[in-house]
Amino acid sequence: MSLQDDLNAIPGVAARDAATHGFVFNHTMLRVKDIQASLDFYTRVLGFTLVRRRDFDEAKFSLYFLVLVDDPAQIPAEEPARGQWLLSQRGVLELTHNHGTESDEGFRYHDGNSEPRGFGHICVSVPDVEAACTRFEQLGVAFQKRLTDGRMKDIAFIKDPDGYWVEILQPTARV
C-alpha cells in the first residue's frame, strides 16, 4: 500500500469523478471592515497583487480580488483575458468591503476562532519562516502565535487588520 492508497481508503474518500475535470479551488472570501487597512496588509506585508475591484454601489459593497504571485507580469493586462485568468487560478483571496463599516467605531467582524467557531485561518507559506517573522515584527504586525510560543515551533500565526489568523510556515521545515 502506498501512502496515497492509505489515504484513499479513509472512510468518505471517493475516487475522482471525471465530471470534476478542470475544477479549480479558485478563491476564499473574507469580509473586511476597513479595505484600505486590509489592502495595505495583504499587499505591503504579504506581497499580494490586487487584480480586480468590482463596485456594487446600489448594494453598497465592493469586492477586491488579490493573488500572490512572484511574477505579476504574467497577469493579463486587459479584460476579458484578465478576468478569465483570475477565475482560473488557485489561491485567490477575495475581500468584501461593505461600505461604511470602516467608520463605524464599534463594528467588528468575527474571526471564527472563538464561539461560534467555524472558519479557522488562511496560510501563507514562505521560503524562510524565521526571516519572515523577523520582518513581521519589524513591521509591527500583530501575532497570534510567535514561533517560540506553544509546542509547534515551526509555525507562527499573524493577524490581519480584522483579526483573521494567517498561518506562516516554511514548506521545507516540516516533514
Looking at the annotation, which residues are catalytic? Answer: 167
Least separation, in Å, of the C-beta of 7 and its own copies? 5
Interface with its own copies, residue 125, by CB under 8 A:
yes
Residues whose CB is less than 8 angstroms from the CB of residue 70 and which lie 6 or more positions away in sequence, other chains included? none
Q: Measured between alpha carbons, how far is 105 from 95 in angstroms, rounded to an integer?
A: 20
Out of 1, 17, 74, 105, the only residue in the binding site for its own copies (CB under 8 A) is: 17
Q: Measured between alpha carbons, how far is 8 from 146 in angstroms, rounded to an integer?
A: 35
Interface with its own copies, residue 48, by CB under 8 A:
yes
Out of 55, 60, 84, 153, the only residue in the binding site for its own copies (CB under 8 A) is: 84
Out of 37, 99, 143, 146, the only residue in the binding site for its own copies (CB under 8 A) is: 37
Report CA-CA distances (Å) from 155 to 9, 84, 111, 169.
29, 34, 19, 5
In the bound state with its own copies, the residue whose beta carbon lies nearer, of 4 and 103, is 4
Interface with its own copies, residue 160, by CB under 8 A:
no
Per CB under 8 A, which of residues 136..155 are in contact with its own copies? none
Per CB under 8 A, which of residues 52..81 are in contact with its own copies? 52-53, 67-68, 70, 72, 75, 77-80
Question: What is the DSSP code (8-state) at residue 107?
Answer: -
Q: Measured between alpha carbons, how far is 87 from 27 in angstroms, rounded to an integer?
A: 8
Out of 57, 105, 140, 175, the only residue in the binding site for its own copies (CB under 8 A) is: 175
Residue 143 in grid coordinates: 501575532
Least separation, in Å, of the C-beta of 105 and its own copies? 17
Query: Of 111, 117, 116, which is closest to residue 163 (Cα–Cα)?
Result: 111
Q: Measured between alpha carbons, how far is 158 from 143 in angstroms, rounded to an integer?
A: 4
Question: What is the DSSP code (8-state) at residue 175?
Answer: -
Per CB under 8 A, which of residues 94..123 are in contact with its own copies? 94, 96, 108-112, 116-123
Out of 31, 145, 146, 159, the only residue in the binding site for its own copies (CB under 8 A) is: 31
